[in-house]
Structure 1
Amino acid sequence: MLDHVVFAASAFMAQILTNLDNLAALLALMLVSGPRRAVTGFLLAQMIVISAALLLALGVDDVVPHWAGYLGVFPLTLGLFGVVRQYRGTGSETDPHISPSASTLVTMMLFISLSMDTFAVLAPLLADSAPSFRVAGVIGASLAALGLAFLGFLGARTPVMTGGLARRLEKLVPYVMICAGIYILSNSWTDAI
């Protein structure tokens, strides 16, 4: 039981740390297009990303069960590229722009496009886990998405969350992806090779 709670907590933290860019966009969109549309789009996007990660995990497990651990190469590589981009100073500092009259579908598509790093971390993490741990991971990631939406509601009223704090926390994302990739590669069938 404790193992499942720890795994859910790791999926929770991965979801939080890879969605800091989404949180910044959520805060901006709440100010522009209203909280209901922004939060609905955010939560729908997170449900799609978490579901897609679970479906990929189930598909990989059924098709090539002993190769699922090699999916850890993707977050590891993306994390290394992110670190290199940070040191070179070529990261994007601009916030995504969306019209105030944009529909919930457009808002959801924006959040899906910002969630590829979450998918790259969550899919291998779930693929390299036993079925009961997948359930715990999905629960942890879903609770994190709900927590981010709630934090977005609170943060829209607090200027602390819209400034430099979110940008500083965003710099942790490549390191989280590297750690997730190493964890997936080392805690799988691949560590027997």
Structure 2
Amino acid sequence: MSETLLPFSVAIAYVLTNIDGLLVFVALATAGKLKRVGVGFLIAQSFVMTVAYAAGAFASSLPVHQVGWLGLVPVFLGVRQLLGEFFTSNARNSKVTDRLLGLAVVFFALSTDTLLLLAAFFADSSKAFDHLVILGALLAVSFLLIAGTFLSRGLGFSLNTIRKLERLTPFVMIMAGIYILMDTGTDAF
């Protein structure tokens, strides 16, 4: 993959692994809490990026020939999500508090797959490309924030369309994991 495509690949993976967070964002924001929900979302995503960067930095201290094996984590998570789609119901009961910290915790909990995926991108990429991974994450967070705001105001995709996009998440995880397992031009040497 060309280094110029890295931010867009990261952004697409980030967005598609956060569709569930987008649904929660829209649901909470339509209840008249748009500003608080937006701030909670941004706090959570800032924490996701920080923890992913730290985890990626730690993992990149491992021997180079072993770092690529981190790609197995998103592949495993994607396969697990696919199996979950076929063998369990997706009914979710979520209890959300009105406090900002509660909102941030909810969004963070919904972003654990994104955190692992982003950490693997950081670990697998050379330090010289970390800024591109960060750029991709920032693009994704901006898109999710804007999309959530518009959707909560009745514009954009229908919630049914978003739920269909959420079904792509396991495939994105698997493909990102395969990318990390492969030797590419952005890998650490």
- TM-score, normalization: structure 1? 0.88
Matched-pair contact (CA < 8 Å) for 1:24–1:162 = no
User: Structure 1 residue 121 and structure 2 residue 104: aligned?
Assistant: no
Structure richer in helix, relative to its length: 1
Give the drift of 1:29.
Answer: 1.1
Q: Deviations over 1:115-168 (max 9, x none)?
A: 011012111111100112111011111121011111111110126645211111
Conserved in 2, the CA contact under 8 Å of 1:57 and 1:127? yes
Q: Deviations over 1:78-114 (max 9, x none)?
A: 10111111122x1423253314xx1111100000000
State yes or no: 1:154 paired with 2:153: no
Query: Could you say what secondary structure the match of 1:3 adopts?
Result: coil
TM-score by length of 2: 0.90
Matched, 1:68 2:67: yes
Q: Is the 8 Å Cα contact of residues 50 and 142 (structure 1) preserved in structure 2? A: no
Contact kept, 8 Å, 1:83 with 1:174, in 2: the verdict is yes
Q: How many residues align?
A: 184
> Does the 8 Å CA contact 2:121/2:180 hold for their aligned counterparts?
yes
Corresponding residue for 2:90? 92
Structure 1 residue 169 corresponds to structure 2 residue 165? yes
Deviates more, 1:141-150 or 1:151-160: 151-160
Name which of structure 1's ranges 102-111 and 157-166 shifts more when overlaid on structure 2: 157-166
Decide whether the 8 Å contact of 1:54 with 1:126 is kept in 2: yes
Residues 1:103 and 2:99 are matched in the alignment = yes
